[in-house]
Amino acid sequence: MVIDRHITGSRILVTGAAGFIGSNLVEDLLAHGNEVVGLDDLSTGFQRNLDPFLSNGQFTFINGDIRDTKACAKAVDGVDYVMHQAALGSVPRSINDPVTTNDVNINGFLNMLVAARDAKVKRFVFATSSSVYGDEQSLPKEESRVGRPLSPYAVTKSVNENYARVFGELYGMETIGLRYFNVFGKHQDPDGAYAAAIPKFIRHFMRHDAPTIHGDGTQSRDFTYIKNVIHANHIAALSSNPVAVNEVYNVAFGQSTNLNELINILQELLGNFDPKILNIDVKYGPERIGDVRHSLASTVKANAILGYRPEYDLKAGLTEAIQWYWEFLGGGRPV
């Protein structure tokens, strides 16, 4: 069972609030009686993700860029906790445009750290990434062993972790980094050049198109449902364990699935809505530059120190996510 620990009655800033993870956090934090400030410049997030909250008197939206120090200072005013999700994601995007990725993910991150320090927030919880493990081959991935980054995106997340550690040591801030492993769930964009694998595959199947796997499909990931991530953010903000702060933790389910297996599960679940999907074959293309081949997390540290207990495995998460995508993408009702 998941330890039922939730932030309540606090004022919380969620950066990247219009994005996939940010909007799910906003929804959950409001549901638990918090006042939430959302900061987003809507460059990659969507207004539609925020529309359900705009009539809620406990929610304030600031249309601003984390590269703007004034916007950062305004957003942290009176805040108890920061949950920093804003970033330019995607390994391929960072390879195509390393300058903008660096500007947003490093300069923007530093701006938010400075603003949170000056506002004396209780704790700064931030999203980092499994990409920091780079060419480290050992499995499962343990927080103390990282390799060389394989993409500009991975470099930015590694720098974020080091900046947070230094701010903790120099300024007495309390920071906690959460290394997300392949998060999926509702609000994750299925379209665009940099869409993640799961929503992209779902979109193709619902259109009766053959999705493309980059590589032979044996590369594996530790797919992590959004509700496990929300749980991790709550307990990271609340942990009273004196050794918890100024550390990083894997946030994953702790189970590896290769892409061929993922496709089979998706077809099985989507087949309950549309049997024709069961007969669609996949296509295989070239491997993507900068991708880590295998990813599997150890959650021992997060379990022992934070009390992290991921409740949703891949199939349980996909069952919920597919219901949302079926409605969001206009698939109609199950047959």
Overall average pLDDT of the 244-253 stretch: 98
Is residue 265 in a domain?
Answer: no
To which residue do tokens 């080091």 refer? 162
Question: What are the phi and psi torsion angles at 138 (to 5°)?
Answer: -70, 145
CATH number, residue 31 = 3.40.50.720
Residue 196: predicted pLDDT = 85
Overall average pLDDT of the 239-260 stretch: 96
Residue ranges making up the domain that contains 112: 11-184+224-254+296-311
Residue 15: predicted pLDDT = 98
Is residue 259 in a domain?
Answer: no
Q: Using 50, 70 and 90 to split pLDDT, how confident is the model at 334?
A: very low
**End-to-end CA distance of the chain, in Å?**
33
Residue 67: predicted pLDDT = 98
Query: What whole-number distance in Å separates Cα of residue 31 and Cα of residue 115?
Result: 27
Residues 6+ apart with CB under 8 A from 200: 190, 211
Is residue 331 in a domain?
Answer: no
**Reported pTM:** 0.93
Q: Using 50, 70 and 90 to split pLDDT, how confident is the model at 1?
A: very low
**Based on the structure, what is the number of domains in the chain?**
1
Indicate the SS3 state at residue 153: helix
Q: Using 50, 70 and 90 to split pLDDT, how confident is the model at 36?
A: very high
Residue 335: predicted pLDDT = 37
Indicate the SS3 state at residue 122: coil
Residue 289: predicted pLDDT = 76
Residue range 145-180, pLDDT digits in tens = 999 999 999 999 999 999 999 999 999 999 999 999
Residue range 105-145, pLDDT digits in tens = 999 999 999 999 999 999 999 999 999 999 999 999 999 99
Residue 331: predicted pLDDT = 66
Is residue 212 in a domain?
Answer: no
Mean pLDDT, the chain, as a whole number?
94
pLDDT at 3 over 60: no
Residue 328: predicted pLDDT = 87
Residue 317: predicted pLDDT = 97
The DSSP-derived string for 2-43 is: -------S-EEEEETTTSHHHHHHHHHHHHTT-EEEEEE-SS
Q: Using 50, 70 and 90 to split pLDDT, how confident is the model at 230?
A: very high
> Parallel, antiparallel, or unpaired: how do β-strands 175-180 and 247-251 relate?
parallel
Query: What whole-number distance in Å separates Cα of residue 217 and Cα of residue 208?
Result: 20
Which helix (H) or strand (E) segment is 285 a member of? strand 283-285
Is-catalytic flag, 153? Answer: yes
Scanning 59-151, the segments in alpha helix (DSSP H) are 69-76, 91-96, 98-102, 108-119
State the catalytic residue, choosing from 153, 163, 308, 325: 153
In 3D space, the residue among 196, 170, 172 whose CA is nearest the CA of residue 185 turns out to be 196
Residues 6+ apart with CB under 8 A from 240: none
pLDDT at 69 over 90: yes
Asked if the bond preceding 140 is cis, omega within 30° of 0, the reply is yes
Overall average pLDDT of the 284-290 stretch: 83
Is residue 213 in a domain?
Answer: no
